[in-house]
Structure 1
Amino acid sequence: MILASVYFIYRFTVIMRQIILDTETTGLRAAGGDRLIEFAGLEMIDRRLTGNSLHLYIHPERDIEEEAIAIHGISLDFLAEKKAPVFAEAGKQIADFIKDAELIIHNAPFDVGFLNMEFARMGLPATETIAGGIIDTLKMAKTRYPGQKNSLDALCTRLSIDRSRRIFHGALIDCELLSEVYLALTRSQFSLVDGLAENNQTQTATLHNRQPLPHPLIIQAAGDAELHQHEAYLNALGEPCLWRQSANRKEADA
């Protein structure tokens, strides 16, 4: 437990680039021919959204299942209106955006599975190789709330996050909600790091704001009798006396 806490403090004291990520697809089977049709990523640094983001609609080069359209509201006609590129034209941009970043995804195996399938079609490395790590907030939530519903909607309700703007399961709005869910799930962990930082700032401010003493310090030098007693005490300790070794070293250095 102590080692885990130390690792956590070290890891997040260093500024880390994170990407809140979500996708929408034609269906549920990346290995069965379904394709990715929307990608969204929001950049977060030091637990703050930077405003840097990537949001793309992508033409799947196939039909979209009606059940999927009912969830995310994206049809082929909509993609045609948006002049959505195919993944082969957008994949490099996505790979560059997530490069070396820690990805925060709800139900990560689903989104990573689709990204890996699309990257493989282009001859690009897998998401795990491109990115700097992956955090699955669904796994985190199941650990925190075992036996309860842990969908994004359920977590927003449980954590008092406003999801009134979420009419369809769009990738961009889901990223915005997921960023708030992630911050809420990890707030107690980061309070330790924040507390250490606050203590350091307080100690630094105390040193800078220290007031001078009202009276100068009086330095009382040892008298001849005290010096004689001190020498007698050192003589009794013998030649290996550390005090004398240290004094001789200083004289030699001088």
Structure 2
Amino acid sequence: MAKGIQTIQLKAYYGSAEILKGIDISIEKNKITAIIGPSGCGKSTFIRCLNRMHEVVEGGRVEGEVRFGDVDLYDPRMDPVQIRRQIGMVFQKPNPFPTMSIFENVASGLRLNGIRNKKILTEEVEKSLTMAALWDEVKDRLDHSAMSLSGGQQQRLCIARSLAVQPEILLMDEPASALDPISTGHIEELISRLKEEVTIAIVTHNMQQAARVADYTAFFLNGELIEYNETVIMFTSPSDKRTEDYLTGRFG
């Protein structure tokens, strides 16, 4: 069973600039949470803080807590590499490893974890590609370059690569924004199925997408969490005027 994740007074900085201003939120396990808000409001920074990717950016630092189960991910004793195995990330632009085959892209994380047995690798690659709804499309060309795939297929390959190491949380930063409507539909269907296995947080600018796939939605504005609720409630009766204005297109 996947875990949820909670932030307590989470603040994030680039140099002296405060990007996140004390975020308190509990992302529910085995649910999809959409992170919405105008450009520059801190959405991507927020999810990068959840698996300690923000700190690898020059000038990036974090204050507050990110609770994952009963541990604080920013405890100095925590290994960031291990955290990122448990909390995977899928980026806006598909980023398959260009020099690797389709098979090796998915197997790469398993190999890093010390798995060398060919039978196990083959089984896990098939399982991950199946979960990512890609197996039937690539099973006869696993040795082909990952770059031979379409953009939508590459994004599903990146999702399969993340799933191969069995994360408990999957973070997605606008995973369909660079894709055509049909590929976007495939990604949304995939996300909806994956919540049975993992907890998902997805950054999106697409309000219709948030309404379609998310169980919960968090609205960010100027580095603050303005409102967080079940998606159906937020989209039909938001409690904050700023949320209503954003959802109806009055700003942002």
TM over 0.5: no
With a CA cutoff of 8 Å and minimum separation of 6, indicate the structure with the bigger relative contact order: 2
Superposition TM-score, scaled by structure 2 size = 0.23
Superposition TM-score, scaled by structure 1 size = 0.22
Higher strand fraction (1 or 2)? 2
Higher helix fraction (1 or 2)? 1
